Amino acid sequence: MSTPYARPEALVDTQWVADHLNDPKVRIVESDEDILLYDQGHIPGAVMIDWVQDLNDRVRRDYLGREGFEALLSSKGIANDTTVVFYGDKNNWWACYAFWVFQLFGHTQARIMNGGRKKWIDEGRPLSREAPVYPKTAYQAQERADYKIRAFRDQVLAHVLARGPLVDVRSAKEYTGELLHMEQYPQEGALRGGHIPGAKSIPWAKAVNDDGTFKSVEELKQLYEAENGLRPDQNIIAYCRIGERSSHTWFVLTYLLGYPNVRNYDGSWTEWGNLVGAPIEK
Amino acid sequence: MPTRQESIDFILDHYEHPRHRGVLTDASLVLQGGNPGCGDVLTFYLRLGADGRVAAVAFEGEGCTISQAAASVMTDKVLGLTLAELTTMDQEALIDELGREVVSTRIRCATLALNLLKTAEPQFRSRGRNGAAGPAPDAPPA
């Protein structure tokens, strides 16, 4: 019998979603890297939230503000007491990213569907091309709280100088500086390669099984604690290239292992690798 | 102007039924490129005829729906053009054809194929100067 996740309420399986397709208190949200996957077929009743169009500020590199978040959720028929279940492609990268942004605004009634879009399809579950329209709500959000689960570059630099624990979740070749982006991806986006000094290399994908579901608590503790020395009492910063893969690791550490102080540095390597004078290790 | 749904249907048709997808073993020019935003990668194969115009085209690649569909759309456009004419192809017209509302947040994906094809002429000329290996065209580009 495997140990239960620290906060098991944050994760649901595909059967749970299938059982709640018509639950008015549940809104299923697809978030993908590929913007048109949703249009090729999605979980019946699901709405789409796009990380570029919906979650990012359209001018500056930042997230939408409180009013924008309220308008977005209201337009998707999400109320303050709605349970939002995220799923998506790429082993839920963007689902975790959207989940993380929702936490910036305090929407704690949020879940990730374990295994994401691929598992739902692999199980032969139904897909729909119909984009549902729900009655508009009057969602009220708190101001975006950047201080608790988000890290900025100056905070990261102070963290480095204090020898605080950092987790680099990119691939091994990105960590060493051999590549500026994942294998098979065009090598753009940063002028320098390497990693933030002191960061442990723990690629995000080590936290998932072949079917995209998360590994067990025992396996995750072996990875993060036994092999890499992380502890739940630490103040940890995770980063990748633009913050999407590290939001996946942030979810794992925070919700599956129960670490209370993990922040996602969404500036990540596309900021750090371009910063003049920033310390880099190879 | 097409509706949003018409644009999506157009893109998905090209994605699910790509035109000229494959490899040309006798290509005069092979173009490779990618997009860091989505991990899109494309390879275009162009064979030039005796008149210096594109006589055959093929592409292969991986990536998001928009990038692969746009590559398929472009294959129909380049047939019969000279390499010089490829450099004048209009990005805004392509975006309108794909559906500006749909692709506006993924412009790099939508224009990856177009911008890659625009490099055909300089790459061809560079290859000529460098003497790189590859099948010779039947005639120099116009």
B16-75 residues touching A, CB cutoff 8 A: 33-36, 38-39, 41, 62, 64-66
Mean pLDDT over residues B106-127, rounded? 90
At the fourth CATH level, the homologous superfamily of domain A8-144 is Rhodanese-like domain (3.40.250.10)
Query: Across the interface, do B105 and A35 touch by the CB < 8 Å criterion?
Result: yes
A37 part of contact set with chain B, CB < 8 Å: yes
In a domain, B128, yes or no: no
pLDDT, tens only, A214-237 = 999 999 999 999 999 999 999 999
Query: Across the interface, do B8 and A185 touch by the CB < 8 Å criterion?
Result: no
Query: Across the interface, do B39 and A184 touch by the CB < 8 Å criterion?
Result: yes
Return the pLDDT at B137.
43
CATH architecture of A148-272: 3-Layer(aba) Sandwich (3.40)
Mind telling me how many Å the CA of B49 is from chain A's nearest CA? 31
Q: What is the DSSP string of B12-33?
A: HHHHHS-TTBS--TT-SEEEEE
Mean pLDDT over residues A157-172, rounded? 96
Q: Does the fold of domain A148-272 match that of domain A8-144?
A: yes
Where in the sequence is the domain holding B61, given as residue range(s)?
Answer: 4-123
Mean pLDDT over residues B14-38, rounded? 90
Interface test with A, best of B4, B5, B8 (most A CBs within 10 A): B8
Among A260, A193, A267, smallest CA distance to A230 is for A260
Query: Across the interface, do A52 and B64 touch by the CB < 8 Å criterion?
Result: no
Structural domain count, chain B: 1
Domains of chain A, residue spans: 8-144, 148-272
Q: CB under 8 Å to A147, separation ≥6 — which residues? A: none
Query: Across the interface, do B64 and A34 touch by the CB < 8 Å criterion?
Result: yes
Distances, alpha carbon B77 to alpha carbons A273, B50, B83, B87, in Å? 39, 19, 12, 12
In a domain, B78, yes or no: yes
Give CA angle at A243 (A242, A248), nearest 5°. 140
Question: How far apart, in whole angstroms, are the C-alpha atoms of residue B75 and residue B56?
Answer: 9
Question: How far apart, in whole angstroms, are the C-alpha atoms of residue B74 and residue B113?
Answer: 7
- Is residue A96 annotated as a catalytic residue, yes or no? no
Q: What is the DSSP string of B33-81?
A: EEETTTTEEEEEEEEE-TTSBEEEEEEEEES-HHHHHHHHHHHHHHTT-
B93-112 residues touching A, CB cutoff 8 A: 102, 105-106
**Residue numbers in A near B73 (CB within 8 A):** none
Question: How far apart, in whole angstroms, are the C-alpha atoms of residue A51 and residue A30?
Answer: 10
Residue B102: count other Cβ atoms within 10 Å of its Cβ. Answer: 22
Among A89, A189, A51, smallest CA distance to B34 is for A189
In a domain, B135, yes or no: no
Question: How far apart, in whole angstroms, are the C-alpha atoms of residue B38 and residue B70?
Answer: 14
Among A87, A89, A106, A71, smallest CA distance to A27 is for A87
pLDDT, tens only, A237-276 = 999 999 999 999 999 999 999 999 999 999 999 999 999 9
Among B75, B111, B106, smallest CA distance to B91 is for B111
Pairing of strands A110-113, A262-265: unpaired
Question: How far apart, in whole angstroms, are the C-alpha atoms of residue A264 and residue A144?
Answer: 15
**Residue numbers in A near B15 (CB within 8 A):** 36
Q: Which phi and psi angles does B76 have, rounded to 5°? A: -70, -30
H or E stretch covering A26: strand A26-30
Q: Which phi and psi angles does B86 have, rounded to 5°? A: -60, -35
Query: Across the interface, do B39 and A33 touch by the CB < 8 Å criterion?
Result: yes
H or E stretch covering A5: none
Looking at chain A, the whole-number percentage of residues with pLDDT higher than 70 is: 97
Return the pLDDT at B37.
55
Burial (CB count <10 Å: 0-12, 13-18, 19+), residue A99: buried
pLDDT, tens only, A20-62 = 999 999 999 999 988 899 999 999 999 999 988 899 998 999 9
Sheet holding A83-87, edge to edge: A11-12, A110-113, A83-87, A26-30, A47-48
pLDDT, tens only, B39-67 = 789 999 999 999 999 999 999 999 999 99
Q: Is the pLDDT of residue B117 over 90?
A: yes
pTM as predicted: 0.85
A184-213 residues touching B, CB cutoff 8 A: 184-189
Confidence of residue B107 (pLDDT cuts 50, 70, 90): confident
Among residues A240, A242, A253, A262, which one is catalytic?
A240
Q: Take residue A255 and report the two structure tokens written for it.
A: 């919700």
